[in-house]
Chain A
């Protein structure tokens, strides 16, 4: 972990930092002391299987769930145990898992709601133009009810709605959920564009390790509520464990190492 610590110190402008966060669902411990840092202007991915605690981490950050222990710092401020709307007003926009649009509001009303906490009409209009520029599909459907959009369009709407808050940082929860591979690549390309053009800091949580590693800078691997690995995405992608367990690559030899006998090195 010394390398990671060195990197943490090197990144002087850490935007988000979690220190030993523990969150429970009733008696069940979902996160067992997670620490992670997100430097400003980067895309950080959290990988993990179902039930690893990925979504819980995001919920804890955005204040929908309260951690039992640990601290969360955003832009130097302690934000653990605050109300989600207060956290959001600090500049942390959460795109929830499963899209969660307002189904009976129109697309443009949904986007307008994204800017609920803002007053300045001019900058809101600019942001709206920019969202329509990122997601041209939404522009054609401005007056349609959001519940009638396709899954991919709803995901775009959810991201666009989060951008309308003009945040400092985006939290993306499984943007690939239920989308076709082509659409997943489209959405991640747009995420990259948002990161490059606006310098937006993004924390993305993904099951789809392949896409996530291709499109982000740094990755954390989460298992059973613990961070078991963290490194730059290139190194993670070349690590044999990740290749085997997350990218589903087989060994070259047809009868080489048997998968079912192999154990993860961190266990």
Chain B
């Protein structure tokens, strides 16, 4: 399971149109591309831009008349799939922030851990995909719970700055530990559906992307039902809206915080396992958390639908930029949109405005 898979080499081969339909495994973010020796190349001329997990760059930009529309559709679907991943990580940011008012900069690295758990359980132990997914999510959720109960609870009430530094530091620790345990070589993540595609006319959807879309949909449905209709879910909302009042009505606020961390770590694990087949699993893959952070900010940093929408906006525009704009723009898109969004609508797309009556 170590070493680059044949699939990623296939994507490198870059056959213009055919290859787009196959959409094998592709490279990952240049920021993440660590040398086996551990030295990281930043922005080397050689490294390709952006995550390009869907191989749109290899899809080429040759202007073939007549396929323009289907190409656009294809790009949109790809963008939606990447956007789902960004959205899921952003969801983790938002959940923790809403409940505990901490910004967890280790969210991307939790996703990375989830992907490694998935590789180990499904790839190495040979568990069925769904069972492996559930086990990985569960174990990462337990990890998130313990992380809050034993580490983050101690900095609660400290200045934001301390919390931010702590979570950034935790991210470094996670990356280092993952490198020690699983190595720094990128690993492929085999799934039962790898390489299969669904054809709808000119538009081709790979099963990897389909899983991302469906997985995100079901996860959001489950979360929606949980937050709307269960006592604990409403209690979590209540805690995020008014922590003091939550104490007064007898909600065990500290346990709720830990449970929110568990949920957010579980969501990160889902994101990691959905992302793993189209990217490669390696300790640096959590860096896409930065773009997910931008997605969360665009969405309003406190709104769950906003996080998903922000993810989609960034995912789609990134893919569009990758296909229709000169090389290099794709990498900047997320941050460009972030700046525009902050100028035009600094409170985010779905900001909840609360006015207290006195």
335-358 of chain B: CB within 8 A of chain A: 352, 354-358
- Interface assignment of A85: CB less than 8 Å from any CB of chain B: yes
Instruction: Assess whether B242 is in contact with A103, with CB atoms less than 8 Å apart.
Output: yes
A117 vs B247: C-alpha distance when bound (angstroms): 11
A117 vs B256: C-alpha distance when bound (angstroms): 13
- Interface assignment of A94: CB less than 8 Å from any CB of chain B: yes
Instruction: Assess whether B253 is in contact with A113, with CB atoms less than 8 Å apart.
Output: no
User: How many residues of chain A have a CB within 8 Å of chain B?
Assistant: 35
A100 vs B245: C-alpha distance when bound (angstroms): 6
A161 vs B247: C-alpha distance when bound (angstroms): 13
Please give me the residue from chain B that is nearest to A111 by CB atom.
B249
Question: Which chain A residues border B154 with CB–CB below 8 Å?
Answer: none
A89 vs B251: C-alpha distance when bound (angstroms): 10
Please give me the residue from chain A that is nearest to B254 by CB atom.
A83
Instruction: Assess whether A94 is in contact with B248, with CB atoms less than 8 Å apart.
Output: yes
Question: Which chain B residues border A93 with CB–CB below 8 Å?
Answer: 248-249
Which interface class (under 10, 10 to 19, 20 to 34, 35 or more) fits B?
20 to 34
A165 vs B250: C-alpha distance when bound (angstroms): 9
Please give me the residue from chain B that is nearest to A88 by CB atom.
B250
Question: Which chain A residues border B241 with CB–CB below 8 Å?
Answer: 102-105
Q: How far is the CB of A263 from chain B (nearest CB, A)?
A: 34
Question: Which chain A residues border B354 with CB–CB below 8 Å?
Answer: 103-104, 147
Instruction: Assess whether A96 is in contact with B234, with CB atoms less than 8 Å apart.
Output: no
Question: Which chain B residues border A114 with CB–CB below 8 Å?
Answer: 249
Instruction: Assess whether A102 is in contact with B248, with CB atoms less than 8 Å apart.
Output: no
The one of B235, B245, B250 in contact with A101, judged by C-beta atoms closer than 8 angstroms, is B245
**Residue-by-residue, is A121-163 near B (CB-CB < 8 Å gives 1, otherwise 0)?**
0000000000000000000000000010011001000000110
- Interface assignment of A62: CB less than 8 Å from any CB of chain B: yes
Instruction: Assess whether A161 is in contact with B242, with CB atoms less than 8 Å apart.
Output: no
Interface centre among B242, B247, B250, B355 (most CB of A within 10 A): B250
Instruction: Assess whether B253 is in contact with A85, with CB atoms less than 8 Å apart.
Output: yes
Instruction: Assess whether A100 is in contact with B242, with CB atoms less than 8 Å apart.
Output: yes
Question: Which chain B residues border A112 with CB–CB below 8 Å?
Answer: 231, 234
Instruction: Assess whether A116 is in contact with B247, with CB atoms less than 8 Å apart.
Output: no
Q: How far is the CB of B22 from chain A (nearest CB, A)?
A: 47
- Interface assignment of B252: CB less than 8 Å from any CB of chain A: yes
240-270 of chain B: CB within 8 A of chain A: 241-242, 244-254
Question: Which chain B residues border A102 with CB–CB below 8 Å?
Answer: 237-238, 241-242, 245-246
- Interface assignment of A39: CB less than 8 Å from any CB of chain B: no
The one of A84, A89, A101, A151 in contact with B358, judged by C-beta atoms closer than 8 angstroms, is A151
The one of A96, A105, A154, A177 in contact with B248, judged by C-beta atoms closer than 8 angstroms, is A96
- Interface assignment of A178: CB less than 8 Å from any CB of chain B: yes
- Interface assignment of A98: CB less than 8 Å from any CB of chain B: yes
Q: How far is the CB of B98 from chain A (nearest CB, A)?
A: 11
Please give me the residue from chain B that is nearest to A104 by CB atom.
B241
- Interface assignment of A241: CB less than 8 Å from any CB of chain B: no
Instruction: Assess whether B249 is in contact with A116, with CB atoms less than 8 Å apart.
Output: yes
Question: Which chain A residues border B252 with CB–CB below 8 Å?
Answer: 83, 85
Please give me the residue from chain B that is nearest to A177 by CB atom.
B358
A27 vs B244: C-alpha distance when bound (angstroms): 23
Question: Which chain B residues border A178 with CB–CB below 8 Å?
Answer: 357-358
Listed from nearest, the 5 A-B pairs whose CB atoms lie closest are A88-B250, A84-B247, A100-B245, A117-B250, A102-B238
Q: How far is the CB of B284 from chain A (nearest CB, A)?
A: 38
Instruction: Assess whether B250 is in contact with A85, with CB atoms less than 8 Å apart.
Output: yes
Question: Which chain A residues border B249 with CB–CB below 8 Å?
Answer: 88, 93, 113-114, 116, 161-162, 165
The one of A88, A94, A113 in contact with B238, judged by C-beta atoms closer than 8 angstroms, is A113
Provide 8 A-B residue pairs closer than 8 Å at the C-beta atoms, listed in order of the A residue. A62-B248, A83-B247, A83-B252, A84-B247, A85-B250, A88-B249, A104-B354, A109-B234
Question: Given known contacts A98-B358, A150-B357, is B235 in contact with A113 (CB within 8 Å)?
Answer: yes
Q: How far is the CB of B229 from chain A (nearest CB, A)?
A: 10
